[in-house]
């Protein structure tokens, strides 16, 4: 696996951060970067590698988040079992969304709207059902311990987020360098041509959405353990879906490191915009919108694509 050394270097370089700083603000920011980098990687498995743009990844994130919260609060399961259940529940949601969309060959804006609709339906159901706490939401009891996936300090959450992000990178790398990755690229570039060459587009896209949903569900489960509170707007609201797709688009879709770079840029930008506006509500979303417009207009392949283009230009000049 060609990307494994780079992933290993990333993990080792990021590992000592809690020993280098005791600032809770820095550790919290780094944890959120890793969290949304992993969520962006989940979106990238489907939207970047397969070319199936989702506007509703909150459906998978929220399903995982609620699955682990319900498992612990309603059924008394431990957090690790809840984490595994969250991934399975998100995969089941992915299977439902994928079958409803890909069986009828929905793609492009139609697929995007279907995913958005599923997220909204899930939000409405979570806002109505007693098991989800309805509009009040669910509150996990504070009880630090490894068995409950709760840590006494921010360093523990940072390291868990790093493990999750590294796992997402390894998964994406395995997919990219496998036959599935080649078939996903073929479907992304020209689905009709891929079908003509014998690629089962339905099966390939289903595999992509199941992997994507499972990883997003794992992020949702971690989010629940990190903040210990969940309500329908947090779990299934549009901001989660926006965060999921913005990172890869800004960093570079279909690239391994695009979601990580995009998440870092967006989280730093969000912190800066809140600081400059005195914490005004929605300031980070305005900043995200401006960056998205600029990226789409001037650098459609994202920051990584811009870097590659400049490197190619430099080689052309020196050559």
In degrees to the nearest 10, what's the CA dihedral of 149, 229, 25, 259? 80
Total of domains in the chain: 1
Could you tell me if 184 and 31 are in contact, meaning their C-beta atoms sit under 8 angstroms apart?
no
- Residues contacting residue 304 through CB under 8 Å, at least 6 positions apart: 251, 252, 255, 257, 258, 261
What CATH number is given to the structural domain containing 163?
1.10.3470
Strand pairing class (229-230; 138-139): antiparallel
- Residues contacting residue 53 through CB under 8 Å, at least 6 positions apart: 47, 108, 111, 112, 245
Phi, psi of 84 (to 5 degrees): -65, -40
Task: Give the integer Cα–Cα distance in Å for 180 and 72.
Answer: 35
Rounded to two decimals, the pTM is 0.94
In whole angstroms, how far apart are CA 115 and each of 119, 186, 238? 6, 22, 11
In whole angstroms, how far apart are CA 283 and each of 56, 91, 277, 290, 293? 22, 33, 7, 11, 16
User: Closest Cα partner for 36 from 303, 302, 242, 290?
Assistant: 242
Domain that holds residue 259: 4-318
Task: Give the integer Cα–Cα distance in Å for 211 and 190.
Answer: 22
* Residue-by-residue pLDDT tens, the chain, 319 positions: 688 999 999 999 999 999 999 899 999 999 999 999 999 999 999 999 999 999 999 999 999 999 999 999 999 999 999 999 999 999 999 999 999 999 998 988 999 999 999 999 999 999 999 999 998 999 999 888 888 899 989 999 999 999 999 999 999 999 999 999 999 999 999 999 999 999 999 999 999 999 999 999 999 999 999 999 999 999 999 989 999 999 999 999 889 999 999 999 989 888 887 777 776 767 777 777 787 788 777 777 888 877 776 766 666 655 5
Task: Give the integer Cα–Cα distance in Å for 302 and 294.
Answer: 10
Task: Give the integer Cα–Cα distance in Å for 214 and 234.
Answer: 19
Question: Three-state DSSP class for 138?
Answer: strand
């Amino acid at each position: 696996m060609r990307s494994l050394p780079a992933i290993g270097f990333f993990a080792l370089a990021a590992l000592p951060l809690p020993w280098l700083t005791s600032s809770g603000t820095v550790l919290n920011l780094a944890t959120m970067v890793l969290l949304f980098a992993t969520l962006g990687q989940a979106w990238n498995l489907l939207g970047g590698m397969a070319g199936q743009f989702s506007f509703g990844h909150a459906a998978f994130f929220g399903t995982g988040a609620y699955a682990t919260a319900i498992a612990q609060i309603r059924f008394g399961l431990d957090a690790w079992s809840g984490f595994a259940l969250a991934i399975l529940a998100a995969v089941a949601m992915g299977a439902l969304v994928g079958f409803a969309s890909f069986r009828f060959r929905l793609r492009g804006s139609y697929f995007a709207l279907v995913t958005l609709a599923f997220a909204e339906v899930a939000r409405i159901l979570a806002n109505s059902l007693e098991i989800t706490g309805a509009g009040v939401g669910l509150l996990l009891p504070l009880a630090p311990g490894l068995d409950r996936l709760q840590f006494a300090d921010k360093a523990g959450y940072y390291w868990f987020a790093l493990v999750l992000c590294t796992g997402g990178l390894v998964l994406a790398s395995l997919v990219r360098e496998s036959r599935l990755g080649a078939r996903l690229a073929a479907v992304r570039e020209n689905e009709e041509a891929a079908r003509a060459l014998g690629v089962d587009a339905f099966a390939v896209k289903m595999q992509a959405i199941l992997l994507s949903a499972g990883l997003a569900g794992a992020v949702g489960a971690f989010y629940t353990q990190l903040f210990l509170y969940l309500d329908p707007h947090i779990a299934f609201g549009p901001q989660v879906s926006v965060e999921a797709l913005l990172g890869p688009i800004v960093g570079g879709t279909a690239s391994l490191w695009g979601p990580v770079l995009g998440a870092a840029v967006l989280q730093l930008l969000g912190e800066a915009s809140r600081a400059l506006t005195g914490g005004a509500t929605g300031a980070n979303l305005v900043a995200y919108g401006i960056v998205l417009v600029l990226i789409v207009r001037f650098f459609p392949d994202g920051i990584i694509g811009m870097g590659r283009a400049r490197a190619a230009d430099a080689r052309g000049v020196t050559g």
